[in-house]
């Protein structure tokens, strides 16, 4: 998956709407140059393909050394580009920043997955739709590069009943409303969020397929699982709210079968070193 050219061109136009004043005023735009993208630290790569295409759209040639989804050690070369200086400077910061932010997300997702796998759990990690507005496509790519999956791409393709939905349904009509929801969308899993064990029991007894336990502690997840087992109802339990690499294993041990998190979207960006050099014997046209 790669962002479409129209989106990448929009990024370039946002940063360089009327040409690069500095490069043009120096009269160096036609000189040939080379660019290297290197990892300053160990990182899970993402958006290398988009970075390469940004340089190509600006008028350069590129070579990808490490595709998205790979781990890079410090100083590893990820991308090379060559071409006129005007292309180098036009694409440089947009491409660098995109890789840094996307790789920060993928690295944080990978850390949660790794913590679980290292502890012997195959529990899936699903990232929410709480990415910064306007960045959905690159957020999805970063999540997948980190070995996680998307919890929801948006409101249009999944059923997730929040307590805020049920505010508009009288308490004695909620079971019927959930049954009607299932009948209207029979091919969809019925997911509902619970903020307490009592709410979780009520929703489970209404027949939901997945319970999203919002801001439960690991101990509360375990208690909820035991309470549901006593009632012989056991929907899939998804822990959500505050899940990260430091507590993921505790949630898995407590019985959560899916971990739902927004944490990767708020991760520190990775650090990418960009080196631009003039090509030997480069002279103005």
**Each residue of 52-104: pLDDT tens digit?**
999 999 999 999 999 999 999 999 999 999 999 999 999 999 999 999 999 99
At residue 39, the pLDDT reads 97
The dihedral sign for the CA sequence 262, 212, 160, 167? negative
Q: Is 97 helix (H, G, I), strand (E, B) or coil?
A: helix
Q: Residue 284 — very low, low, confident or very high, per pLDDT cuts 50/70/90?
A: low
pLDDT at 15 over 90: yes
Tell me how far CA of residue 94 lies from CA of 15, 104, 134, 167, in angstroms: 7, 15, 16, 44
Reported confidence tier of residue 1, pLDDT bands at 50, 70, 90: confident
Q: How confident is the model at residue 34 (pLDDT cuts 50, 70, 90)?
A: very high
Q: What is the pLDDT of residues 161-220, one digit of tens each?
A: 999 999 999 999 999 999 999 999 999 999 999 999 999 999 999 999 999 999 999 999
**What pLDDT is recorded for position 280?**
85
pLDDT in tens, 222-234: 999 999 999 999 9
Question: Position of tokens 């195959």?
Answer: 122
pTM for the full predicted model: 0.94
- The pLDDT value recorded for residue 283 is 61
B/e letters for 81-100, b = 16+ CB within 10 Å, e = fewer, are bbbbbbbbbbbbebbbbbbb
Q: Where are the domains of the chain?
A: 5-113+268-278, 118-266
| DSSP result, 214-256 | ET--HHHHHHHHHHHHHTT--PEEEEESS--TTTHHHHHHHT-
Task: For residue range 112-169, list pLDDT tens digits in order.
Answer: 999 999 999 999 999 999 999 999 999 999 999 999 999 999 999 999 999 999 999 9
Task: Look at the domain 118-266 and name its fold.
Answer: TIM Barrel (3.20.20)
Please determine whether the domains at 5-113+268-278 and 118-266 fall in the same fold group of CATH: no
User: d(Cα 273, Cα 64) in Å, to the nearest integer?
Assistant: 15
Question: How is residue 183 written in tokens?
Answer: 């009948």
The reported pLDDT for the residue numbered 285 is: 53
Q: Which listed CATH number (3.90.1170.20, 3.30.230.30, 3.40.640.10, 1.20.1540.10) goes with 5-113+268-278? A: 3.90.1170.20
Question: In whole angstroms, how large is the CA radius of gyration of the chain?
Answer: 24
Contacts of 149 (CB under 8 A, 6+ apart): 124, 125, 126, 127, 143
């Amino acid at each position: 998956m790669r962002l479409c050219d129209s989106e990448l061109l929009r990024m370039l136009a946002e940063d360089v709407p009327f040409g690069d004043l500095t490069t043009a005023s120096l009269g160096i735009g036609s000189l040939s140059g080379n660019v290297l993208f290197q990892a300053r630290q160990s990182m899970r790569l993402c958006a290398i393909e988009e970075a390469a295409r940004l340089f190509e759209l600006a008028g350069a040639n590129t070579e990808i050394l490490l595709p998205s989804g790979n781990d890079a050690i410090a100083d590893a070369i990820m991308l090379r580009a060559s071409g006129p200086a005007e292309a180098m400077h036009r694409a440089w910061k947009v491409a660098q920043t995109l890789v840094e932010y996307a790789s920060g997300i993928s690295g944080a997702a990978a850390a949660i997955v790794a913590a679980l796998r290292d502890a012997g759990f195959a529990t899936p990690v699903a990232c929410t739709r709480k990415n910064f507005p306007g960045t959905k496509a690159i957020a999805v790519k970063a999540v997948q590069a980190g070995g996680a999956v998307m919890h929801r791409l948006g409101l249009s393709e999944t059923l997730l009943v929040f307590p805020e939905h049920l505010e508009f349904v009288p308490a004695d009509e909620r079971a019927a409303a959930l049954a009607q929801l299932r009948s209207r969308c029979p091919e969809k899993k019925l997911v509902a969020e619970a903020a307490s064990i009592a709410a979780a029991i009520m929703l489970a007894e209404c027949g939901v397929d997945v319970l999203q336990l919002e801001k439960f502690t690991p101990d509360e997840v375990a208690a909820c699982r035991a309470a549901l087992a006593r009632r012989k109802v056991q929907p899939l339990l998804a822990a959500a709210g505050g899940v990260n690499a430091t507590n993921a294993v505790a949630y898995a041990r407590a019985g959560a079968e899916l971990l739902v998190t927004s944490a990767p979207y708020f991760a520190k960006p990775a650090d990418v070193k960009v080196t631009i050099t003039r090509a030997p014997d480069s002279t103005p046209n």
